[in-house]
């Protein structure tokens, strides 16, 4: 396994541990962790070259990442984070694709966005733990495909919301 793949796998595990620790975290500490992990995930995934330098590294849907996070696990982490964030979980967003049909902002859950990232990172880390070295490039390519398809946008939107809550919410009250 390449150092970059190993580093990304470790980062995915760290993020998942931080998310799983939400029930015992303080909101501000949890958000500080998210503000540290989300940009690192974004940069690390966007810098991955699945097939090496000079190869065609366009993201490809390879199906190489196993779906390991169950609906119950996803819902548990989403609920834990939503409970931790309380009234700061839901915010108004104006995603471009929905603005075509309405000029009204849409209510979005930060916990749901963080759970989406959790699912992608947990599935990736679990897959990496089960595969042989020759399967790593296809697994990285699949992660890059998911990143380009939805994960990059989810990370950016969650980062913006987490940043706002971290610096503006009153958690003492």
Query: Residue 89 carries which DSSP code?
Result: S
Q: Considering the chain, what is the average pLDDT of its residues?
A: 91
107-123 pLDDT, tens digit each: 789 999 999 999 999 99
Report the 10 Å Cβ neighbour count for 91: 19
CA distance 138 to 31: 32
Which residues does 31 contact at the CB level (< 8 Å), separation at least 6? 162, 165, 166
Least confident interval from 53-57, 81-85, 104-108: 53-57
* Cβ–Cβ under 8 Å, residues 130 and 66: yes
| pLDDT bracket for residue 60 (50, 70, 90) | confident
* Cβ–Cβ under 8 Å, residues 67 and 38: no
Taking residues 17-45, what's their average pLDDT? 97
CA distance 89 to 172: 16
Cα 57 to Cα 34, 68, 124, 140, 155, distances in angstroms: 28, 25, 18, 10, 21
pLDDT at 136: 95
pTM of the model: 0.92
pLDDT at 10: 98
pLDDT at 78: 98
Taking residues 132-161, what's their average pLDDT? 96
pLDDT at 94: 65
pLDDT at 87: 94
* Cβ–Cβ under 8 Å, residues 37 and 18: yes
């Amino acid at each position: 396994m390449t150092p970059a793949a190993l580093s990304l796998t470790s980062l995915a595990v760290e993020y998942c541990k931080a998310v799983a620790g939400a029930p015992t975290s303080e909101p501000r500490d949890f958000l500080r962790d998210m503000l540290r992990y989300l940009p690192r995930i974004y940069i690390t995934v966007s810098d991955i070259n699945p097939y090496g330098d000079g190869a065609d590294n366009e993201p490809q849907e390879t199906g190489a990442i196993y779906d390991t996070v169950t609906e119950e696990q996803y819902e548990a982490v989403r609920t834990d984070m939503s409970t931790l964030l309380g009234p700061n979980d839901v915010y108004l967003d104006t995603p471009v694709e929905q603005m075509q049909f309405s000029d009204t902002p849409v209510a979005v859950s930060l916990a749901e966005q963080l759970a989406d990232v959790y699912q992608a990172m947990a599935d990736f880390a679990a897959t990496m733990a089960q595969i042989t070295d020759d399967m790593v490039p296809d697994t990285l390519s699949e992660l890059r495909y998911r990143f380009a398809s939805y994960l990059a946008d989810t990370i950016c939107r969650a980062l913006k919301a987490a940043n706002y809550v971290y610096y503006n919410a009153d958690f003492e009250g």
